[in-house]
Amino acid sequence: MRHWQKTSLFTIAFLIALFIGLIYAFNLSVKVTPLKNIEFSPGEQKAMAEQEYDSIKPKNIIIFIADGMGFSHMSLAMMTQQLEGKSSVWDEFEVRGWHNTRSIYGPLTDSEASATAMATGNSTNFGHIGMDKDGNTLENIFEIASANNYTTGIVTDSYIWDGSPAAFVAHSRNEDDARDILKQIAASDLDLIFGELEDLGEDDVPEKDESLEIIGKRFQLLDRSLELPKGNDASKPVAVLFDEDEIQDLSSTPNLPQLTETALNYLSNQESPFILFVECEEMDSASHSNASGRLIDGLAALQTTLELVMEFSKNNGETLLVFTSDHETGGLAAVSEDDYPNLQISWGTKGHTAAVVPLLAYGPGARYFADVKRNYDIGRVLKNLISNQSFQSQ
């Protein structure tokens, strides 16, 4: 080998060694260009088989949505929120599956479209609340429930006109028209609504006094003590409204478990079956900003609330609990690359992903969710369960 060849090889080897040394010394990361423009081609999906609904039906239904929560969020909860010597609430569910959250047009969705699918049994487009892709009004399960003499309630740690709760009570092409959604809530047959007010006075969001006036036309407004009315007022609709981000984690006063417990006390004291929607929005808010600490706090609030409603379902014996998500946010991965077995959180994005999400069910009627494939299947099963009041405990 000639001298110049030896020199060149030595130089190349030296540069490679120097580059590798720099990577280790300064913890540099080499990014690989992602594969782009992968064609969305889901093909034709076989429809969910028609089911026969026998006498085993729930008297009451609790729908629990963890906004933005995917399987990695659930895995993180299972690995970080358990108490020693106590079984996991995630192991208590009788049906454990998943569903595809996509909108009518493509692989992604938003809260409005996905919640509408679950509330009405129909797939729709981004930003549509209680409406199909063409803007036609869709009947939701709360409207069917009220027509069948159910008591209905919504509890959320987000603002009450947000996409997920709004889809179960309102119909709008404009997700930002808070004034219109608030008026629809006040004109509905809803019996209970607990949540926040947000962006007061901005664009189509009324100021606090106007918001309280709108809601107060139908609901008795509770104070933060959450003391429920008694006597002749005990069966009248109730609401409690908090400021933006006032309900976040277990350190909040009150917090999501306390609001949910109060709602269950109110609903249980009525002389009718009930359907309750509970939303924990912290997964979505934390994941959109890749706020890992907020996510862990949110998971603690979520799991504590989930344990509460699971215990209620077990003790009551006539209550179906359905837990799911509207979509995954953040591309979360729970890894253990440093200080094993401790975990670290890795994020892939600050937006929504096309990942499928968990679907879990417990109690009478849980088995009807075993074959769910799409988010709108959830709405169709729920509609069938509440359209006929006959029920029988397992």
113-166: per-residue pLDDT in tens?
999 999 999 999 999 999 999 999 999 999 999 999 999 999 999 999 999 999
Quick one: pLDDT at residue 7?
A: 54
Residue 1 lies in a domain: no
Crossing angle for the helix pair 178-187 and 208-216, to the nearest 10 degrees: 20
- Domains of the chain: total: 1
Q: Is residue 113 part of a domain?
A: yes
- Stated pTM of the model: 0.89
- Is the pLDDT at 83 greater than 70? The verdict is yes
| Inside any domain, residue 243 | yes
Q: Please state, rounded to an integer, the average pLDDT across all residues of the chain.
A: 90
Q: Where does the pLDDT of residue 264 fall: very low under 50, low under 70, confident under 90, or very high at 90 and above? A: very high
pLDDT of 391 > 70? The answer is no
CATH number for the domain spanning 92: value is 3.40.720.10
18 within some domain:
no
What per-residue confidence (pLDDT) applies to 29?
Answer: 41
Average pLDDT estimate for 192-203: 94
Residue 367 counted as domain residue = no
Asked if residue 38 is part of any domain, the answer here is no
Helix (H, G, I), strand (E, B) or coil at 320: strand
Question: What is the separation of C-alpha 8 from the centre of its chain, rounded to a whole number of angstroms?
Answer: 60
Q: 333-384 pLDDT, tens per residue?
A: 999 988 899 999 999 999 999 999 999 999 999 999 999 999 999 999 999 9
Give residue 242's domain range: 52-303+336-356+374-386
Choose between 281 and 389: higher pLDDT. Answer: 281
| Of the candidates 359, 136, 159, 170, the residue with the CA atom closest to the CA atom of residue 279 | 159
Average pLDDT over every residue of 219-230: 95
Q: For residues 363 and 239, what is the distance between their CA atoms, to the nearest angstrom?
A: 28
Q: Which two tokens stand for residue 248?
A: 């976040």
With a pLDDT cut of 90, the percent of the chain lying above it is: 79
Whether residue 275 has pLDDT greater than 80: yes
Residue 159 lies in a domain: yes
Query: Does residue 331 sit within a domain?
Result: no
**Model pLDDT for residues 4-55, shown as the tens digit of each residue:** 454 555 565 555 555 555 444 444 344 456 788 888 888 777 778 788 777 7
DSSP 71-112: HHHHHHHHHHSPPTT---GGGS-SEEEEEB---SSSS---HH
